Amino acid sequence: MAPKEAALATSLSRTLLALMADAGEFPAPVRLGERRVAYVRAEVNAWIDQRIGSRQARAA
């Protein structure tokens, strides 16, 4: 998925996603070319599911 799609899916900015990926807090993008990157949709969805799971665990 394109960075813009990942940003829409997570409600986070593309810049923040890149910073989080650099810090190991978000799935790293895959370099498709010299100036093009994409995120693996399954990894982004798993990250979202993990965040939902951790929220539910804290509420219990």
Q: Which pLDDT belongs to residue 56?
A: 78
One-character DSSP codes across 10-42: HT--HHHHHHHHHTTSSPPPEE-SSS-EE--HH
Q: Which pLDDT belongs to residue 55?
A: 81
- Cβ(22)–Cβ(14) under 8 Å? no
The residue ranking higher by pLDDT, 37 or 59, is 37
Q: Which pLDDT belongs to residue 60?
A: 66
The structure tokens 């070319």 sit at 33
Q: What is the mean pLDDT of residues 13-37?
A: 97
What's this model's pTM, rounded to 2 decimal places? 0.87
27-57 confidence digits (pLDDT tens)? 999 999 999 999 999 999 999 999 999 887 7
Please tell me whether residue 49 adopts helix, strand or coil conformation: helix
